[in-house]
Amino acid sequence: MPFTPSRTLITGASSGIGAGFARTFAARGSDLVLVARREDRLRELAAELTARHGIRAQVLPADLAEPDAGRLLIEQVDGEVDLLVNNAGFATHGPLAESDAARIENEIDVDVRALVSLTRAFLPGMIARRSGAIVNLASTASFQPLPGMAVYGAAKAFVRTFSEAVWQEARPHGVKVFALSPGPTRTEFFDVVGTESAAVGTMRDVDQVIATALRALDSRRTPPGVVDGRANALVAWSTRLVPRRILIPMTARMLG
């Protein structure tokens, strides 16, 4: 049976996978709360989906890298949220010792701190209602250390294991929580990273990633995590079979 939330909050909703989620759930009749830094894009998307599907869309411009951004965002949300999609995130590329310290801190704030803050904020209401779902965007980057993208790989590993643990805590209460792990996807992600060398794995489209998420959401037995694409899933899980002293240098070479 299709999972049809009354209200969906999506971070990083201005483009890519976030915008894909917005279009998908608007088509299912869900009202939206759209969160991203780029207010103009959010308003364009909100207008498009309101006109096309007759839903209501609240636009909340926010930079989740800012201190207390998660808490301030929560205070602005009007009403209950039945589906939370923690999609906002970005990566940095290069040796840690040569990286900009402030940029690294922002990466952790967006990819980890804000995600935990929003999950903690909306989960109790879902548990009380005994319904709802949280989708946390991890990555196939989470399955092995990433020399050259050390913070991003570690952040996504946190997201994946955090989501798996909360899956167990939430499921007795009728709430779905899982980590969605795409491989390289055709979005603006690599423009932000600044290099295509980070695109390791089978390239996929946003619609394919969304379809993977929907299969998990619509299932009666939603798993704690899913990887998008069979080839990406095979590579992700095969990393468990390779000794770390071999896997880490091999990954470093692949990332350039």
Tell me which residues are annotated as active site: 152
Local structure of residue 111 (DSSP, 8 states): I
Q: How far is CA 158 from the centre of its chain?
A: 12
Integer Cα distance of 243 and 160 in angstroms: 21
Give the sign of the dihedral formed by CA 114, CA 179, CA 228, CA 6.
Answer: negative
E strand or H helix that includes residue 174: none
Q: From the DSSP assignment, how many helices (H) and strands (E) are in the chain?
A: 10, 7
Give CA–CA dist 144/154, Å, rounded.
9
